[in-house]
Structure 1
């Protein structure tokens, strides 16, 4: 049930991540994210928009390199609707909770349930869902309001990982819960 204790976490639905998403068309995901956001707001919930900033990437070495990276200014351009009262946060690490103060902000609002949507399923969305689970939130992940570079990996997360972390749904089913 959606209510004032619900927060929608929108992960990386921005210009710089869009070109790498291949599970479904980005425009479809953006439409679905906006639909979910309107439902959360209408129920008195809160929307948190998370943007990835490559310049804030942690310095740990990976096979792909490590540390902060440059990106064009347009990389962070938001693709979803934003309204007054939404919260904007920037992340460098994988999870929307790491280094952003998100957990503290949600606690201050009395949030008990988080709805997670965005790009990319196997990166920021999954990491955020795992952290939310560890922090004790009830979690809902909206399958058709998420996207990933690898459609098979996306499907696997919704089949094997996300049901162990919370509840999965679609935009149509989510929108009718109100």
Structure 2
């Protein structure tokens, strides 16, 4: 059986598991459930010496965030002093790369693509919150940059069940492969 991916050329990208985001209401998984699965992935990727990118949306005053006229505004976040800190369950180690974004996707206006290419990484395992915003936009950007994608299906959750179901069934299979956290972790034994 062909391995799911090569550890030497694969990065784990964790989307918005930060204090001001994880505490929200999500479906089908709670922030706590996503954190538990993501932590398992982070632990193995760190142990393997693979690239771990921790993405956070960060803007203290919100002035550099997009503010178009829309019919359905995204949820308002409490921007307390520590709202953009990576949650302690995941933490940040010296080997992690923290990506601070101002938009939905982790590529636009950041050094993520540069950091991956410098390390000759061609595959991304993606997890985090929210399915139809940060995860979806990052996935589409990664696809357009030519990366192979693997979605940790039980380590991703959306603002609503409908949003989550749509991207998981209609978008993600068209840009990558969908696997459970356990299936990804089983690759660690190969």
TM-score (norm 2): 0.85
Matched, 1:149 2:149: no
Per-residue CA deviation, residues 82-119 of structure 1 (Å, 9 max, x unaligned), is 22210011101111000011101111111100111111
Per-residue CA deviation, residues 7-34 of structure 1 (Å, 9 max, x unaligned), is 1111100121123332112111111101
> Shift of residue 165 of structure 1?
0.5
Matched, 1:3 2:7: yes
CA 1:123 to 1:140, structure 2 compared with 1: closer, same or farther past 3 Å?
same
Aligned to 1:89: 99
> Shift of residue 81 of structure 1?
3.1
> Shift of residue 45 of structure 1?
1.3
Per-residue CA deviation, residues 105-152 of structure 1 (Å, 9 max, x unaligned), is 111111100111111110000000000000000001111111111022
Matched, 1:77 2:81: no
After the TM superposition, which residues 19-168 of structure 1 pair with which residues of structure 2 at under 5 Å, given as runs?
Answer: 19-23=23-27, 24-54=29-59, 55=62, 56-63=64-71, 71-79=79-87, 80-168=90-178
Matched, 1:13 2:17: yes
Whole-angstrom CA distance in 2 between matches of 1:155 and 1:165 = 15
CA RMSD, 1 decimal: 2.0
CA 1:107 to 1:27, structure 2 compared with 1: closer, same or farther past 3 Å?
same
Q: Which sits farther off after the overlay, 122-131 or 153-162? A: 153-162
TM-score (norm 1): 0.90
Tell whether the 8 Å contact from 2:41 to 2:185 is kept in structure 1 after alignment: yes
Aligned residues: 176
Q: Flag structure 2 segments of 5+ consecutive residues without an equivalent.
A: none
> Shift of residue 64 of structure 1?
6.0
